[in-house]
Amino acid sequence: MQQPLILAGARSEELAAGLKGRDFLALADYTPEELRYLIELAIELKRVQKFGEAYHPLKGKTLGMIFEKASTRTRVSFEVGMYQLGGQALFLSGNDLQIGRGEPISDTAQVLSRYLDGIMIRTFAHRTVIELARASTVPVINGLTDSEHPCQVMADYQTVLEHKGKLEGLKVAYIGDGNNMAHSLLMGAAKLGLHMSVATPEGYEPDAAIVKQTQAVASGTGSVIHVCRDPREAIEGADIVYTDVWASMGQEAEQAERERAFAGYQVNEDLTKHAKADYLFMHCLPAHRGEEVSEGVIDGKHSIVFDEAENRLHAQKAIMAALM
Ligand code: CP
Ligand code: NVA
């Protein structure tokens, strides 16, 4: 098996040693330095891949991927990422596993830990991921819950760094639903020193406890976190404009009600006039053109949505190579 790729320097070796065997459930569990290390590792793995160099630190290892919700990017990028690192991935549909018939999460975790070297899970309640991690003896990676999407945000801030050459001091405006994406973007911004303004309609704010936790982190990194009602106020002078679907997976029945609530929160050409002239548009995808974003913006010259999607592969390879 190949030696793990460790970035140059004694501090990087210490960081790499501290990451082995950890879970990746939420960005709150990682220090700013660890997150920066993982982003730099992702950029290095991307370079290695583009140059066609073989790098197989996970040879002989298997990642189980439990999906209780649909996925295009997460499933394919984890599976391809494992393959590129020399290992293999198993797709495990929540409907076909015994958890679908009531087997406890903790039993499932203990059984899967006897076969697998890592578990990725996409599910509804965040506590399911916490329970799974608690009972697993192998690293557990959060592939999205109702309240967090940390792998997406690692790819997102990697993408911002690649485009802007820095993270600290940039302003992110998030317009729309205070959902899992908003939560993870907030914590990532606070940890990495970006400023972030979130504008949501009443009743759709990000979770107050997460905002408070984020603001506490921000006070130590010089980041300013602001939650408001007015998209114009949030987007003023933004370097990054981010939005996400108005109805997330599991909220399909609320679609019509949410379309009414979010009218006026579309990221379109009128609104983006108030961002910086060289702003970048970001969206985790899948997107609904004509709802949370206009076609002109998502398919326009400021949009970097497919770079974000590509970086899911590199960011998750870094996370898997570091943890597993
Ligand atoms: N952005 C994202 O997680 O996409 P999928 O739902 O397709 O995995
Ligand atoms: N907020 C969206 C993100 C999808 C990647 C959802 O949870 O459906």
69 CA distance to ligand 1 centroid (A)?
10
Task: Indicate the top mutation candidate among 73, 75, 123, 149 to test ligand 2's pocket, ranked by most ligand atoms within 8 A of CB.
Answer: 149
Residues 199 and 226 grouped into a single domain? yes
* Number of structural domains the chain divides into: 2
Residues 256 and 163 grouped into a single domain? yes
Domain for residue 4, yes or no?
no
**pLDDT on residue 7:** 79
249 CA distance to ligand 1 centroid (A)?
10
Domain for residue 197, yes or no?
yes
> Is the pLDDT at 2 greater than 80, yes or no?
no
Domain for residue 1, yes or no?
no
Residues 83 and 193 grouped into a single domain? no
Average pLDDT, the chain: 97
Residues 159 and 290 grouped into a single domain? yes
**Pocket lining for ligand 2, CB < 6 angstroms:** 144, 179-181, 244-245, 248-249, 284
Domain for residue 2, yes or no?
no
**pLDDT-derived band of residue 133, with 50, 70 and 90 as boundaries?**
very high
Mean pLDDT to the nearest integer, 241-262:
98
Nearest-atom number in ligand 2 for the CA of 181 is 1
**pLDDT on residue 172:** 98
Q: What DSSP designation does 173 have?
A: E
Residues 137 and 187 grouped into a single domain? no
Q: Which H or E element spans position 140?
A: strand 140-142
Residues 173 and 213 grouped into a single domain? yes
Task: Indicate the top mutation candidate among 186, 248, 316 to test ligand 2's pocket, ranked by most ligand atoms within 8 A of CB.
Answer: 248
- Least confident piece of the model among 46-55, 77-86, 152-161, 271-280: 46-55
Give the closest ligand to the alpha carbon of residue 204.
2
Q: Is the CB of 293 under 6 A from ligand 1?
A: no
Residues 163 and 283 grouped into a single domain? yes
Domain for residue 138, yes or no?
yes
Domain for residue 98, yes or no?
yes
- What is the dihedral sign for C-alpha 116, 310, 9, 167? negative
> Is the pLDDT at 173 greater than 80, yes or no?
yes
Domain for residue 229, yes or no?
yes
Task: Indicate the top mutation candidate among 285, 288, 306, 307 to test ligand 1's pocket, ranked by most ligand atoms within 8 A of CB.
Answer: 285
> Is the pLDDT at 4 greater than 70, yes or no?
no
Q: Is the CB of 71 under 6 A from ligand 1?
A: yes
Q: Which H or E element spans position 197?
A: strand 195-199
Residues 48 and 139 grouped into a single domain? yes
75 CA distance to ligand 1 centroid (A)?
8
Q: Is 126 left (phi over 0), alpha (psi -120 to 50) or beta?
A: alpha
Residues 180 and 265 grouped into a single domain? yes
CATH number of the domain to which 42 belongs: 3.40.50.1370
Give the number of other CB atoms < 10 A from CB of residue 56. 14
Phi, psi at residue 289, to the nearest 5°? -60, 135
Residues 157 and 191 grouped into a single domain? yes
**pLDDT on residue 100:** 87
Percent residues over pLDDT 70 in the chain: 98
> Is the pLDDT at 301 greater than 90, yes or no?
yes
pLDDT, tens digit, 9 for 90 and up, residues 197-219: 999 999 999 999 999 999 999 99
Nearest-atom number in ligand 2 for the CA of 179 is 1
**pLDDT on residue 8:** 78
pLDDT, tens digit, 9 for 90 and up, residues 216-235: 999 999 999 999 999 999 99
Cα→Cα distances 75→71, 191, 269, 304, Å: 6, 27, 33, 21
pTM, to two decimals: 0.97
Q: What DSSP designation does 237 have?
A: T
**pLDDT on residue 114:** 98
Give the residue numbers annotated as catalytic, written as ranges.
122, 149, 152, 244, 284, 312
**pLDDT on residue 3:** 64
Residues 111 and 193 grouped into a single domain? no
Residues 82 and 98 grouped into a single domain? yes
> Is the pLDDT at 239 greater than 80, yes or no?
yes
Q: Which residues pair with 303 in a beta bridge?
A: 281
Mean pLDDT to the nearest integer, 189-194:
98
> Is the pLDDT at 139 greater than 70, yes or no?
yes
Domain for residue 193, yes or no?
yes
Domain region containing 287? 152-308
Residue nearest to atom 2 of ligand 2 (CA): 248
